[in-house]
Amino acid sequence: MPTIGVICDRDDEKGKIIHTIEMLAARNGFDCTVCSPEPKAAAEEKMDIPGKKGISGQRAASGQADILWNDITCVILDREDRDNAFRCAEILWNRAPSLLIIYVAHNVEDIVAALGMPFFHIVRRFGLEQDLEAAFRKLDKVRLSAADKVSFTQNGQSMLIPSREILYLESEHHEIRLHLTTEVLAIRENLSQCEERLKNRGFVRIYRSFLVNMYHIRLLEKENALLDNGERLYVSRRRYPEVKLVFENYIRHLDFI
């Protein structure tokens, strides 16, 4: 059961979001838990977001009061000031790099600005019900694909690795280094063959030596890609326009566009 956090700086709007989530969950049979993991510090620039401590919040259809950040599947972020919202998102990602954030845009300018951020999904405030429903369909697909595994060969033996555990593949001296979230494995395969195998799984070739899992890209710049583990990988100038387009399509997934 996914746990959905709602961060909003207006109590009435927060109530509307929670009500919409509960209504959509009931309508679509989407079983979920809702909480309000609000930062405690008054100064937005210095928000103290709990790490391992429990978060005091509310749960829909549940009497439990405390949850852990690791328990949260995704966060719906709605702050009236866009810059404030983006700062909040950055703080959340610094604490939990793989956290899925659904951003509530108040106007067209917010949507355009948000496309440069690695939000899981963007919803419109005035189309909240419709867009959240699309976001939850996407979230359900992510949950189903989390167990998706890719086959690689190492020392003549086949091994299955969950695609989400793959940060990137690096080609060096006729050998491929498979950079995972926990270790680096050496496999003897061709990077072009791997690219063909992974092209429909969210991977993009940013340089002749790098095939990157876009799920782990935090920020794409003209000369490098920042991953959620802090690594920066070189992006070739020739490939950048195509990589930028592929990455924007990957993070956008806006059903209303």
| Region for residue 156 given its phi and psi (left: phi exceeds 0; alpha: psi -120 to 50; beta: otherwise) | left
One digit per residue, the tens of pLDDT, for the chain of length 257 reads: 678 999 999 999 999 999 999 999 888 777 788 888 765 433 343 444 433 333 333 333 333 334 456 678 889 999 999 999 999 999 988 887 778 899 999 999 999 899 878 898 999 999 999 999 888 888 876 665 555 788 888 887 888 888 888 999 999 877 899 999 889 999 888 888 889 888 778 899 999 999 999 989 988 988 999 998 889 999 999 999 999 999 988 876 544 43
Classify residue 236: in a domain, yes or no. yes
- 203 and 240 within one domain: yes
Classify residue 257: in a domain, yes or no. no
- Strand 166-172's sheet: what is its strand order? 184-187, 175-180, 166-172, 210-213, 203-207
- 125 and 34 within one domain: yes
Sign (positive/negative) of CA torsion 222, 228, 234, 238?
A: negative
User: In this structure, what CATH number is given to the domain that contains residue 124?
Assistant: 3.40.50.2300
- 18 and 36 within one domain: yes
Amino acid, single-letter form, for residue 160: L
| pLDDT of the residue at 59 | 37
| pLDDT of the residue at 1 | 67
What are φ and ψ of residue 196, in 5° steps? -65, -40
- 98 and 62 within one domain: yes
- 167 and 129 within one domain: no
| pLDDT of the residue at 70 | 65
Classify residue 200: in a domain, yes or no. yes
Classify residue 98: in a domain, yes or no. yes
- 137 and 101 within one domain: yes
User: In this structure, what CATH number is given to the domain that contains residue 204?
Assistant: 2.40.50.1020
Listed residues 118, 145, 172: the one ending a domain? 145
- CB 102, CB 119: distance < 8 Å: yes
Listed residues 107, 125, 145: the one ending a domain? 145
* 250: helix, strand or coil: helix
- 21 and 117 within one domain: yes
In what helix (H) or strand (E) does residue 28 lie, and over which residues does it extend?
A: helix 11-28
- Residue 189 makes CB contacts below 8 A (sequence gap 6+) with 152, 153, 176
Q: Does this model's pTM top 0.85?
A: no
Number of independent structural domains in the chain: 2
| pLDDT of the residue at 183 | 92
The residue ranges of DSSP E strands in the chain, in sequence order, are: 3-8, 33-35, 55-56, 66-67, 74-78, 100-105, 121-124, 149-154, 157-162, 166-172, 175-180, 184-187, 203-207, 210-213, 217-220, 224-227, 232-234
- 139 and 44 within one domain: yes
- CA distances, 136 to each of 112, 202, 237 (Å): 22, 19, 36
Supply the range of the domain harboring residue 209. 149-252
For the chain, what is the radius of gyration of the CA atoms?
Answer: 19
- 121 and 9 within one domain: yes
Query: Please, what is the Cα angle at 184 between 180 and 190, to 5 degrees?
Result: 90
| Region for residue 29 given its phi and psi (left: phi exceeds 0; alpha: psi -120 to 50; beta: otherwise) | left
Classify residue 12: in a domain, yes or no. yes
- 70 and 39 within one domain: yes
- 133 and 51 within one domain: yes
Listed residues 145, 166, 189: the one ending a domain? 145
- 89 and 185 within one domain: no
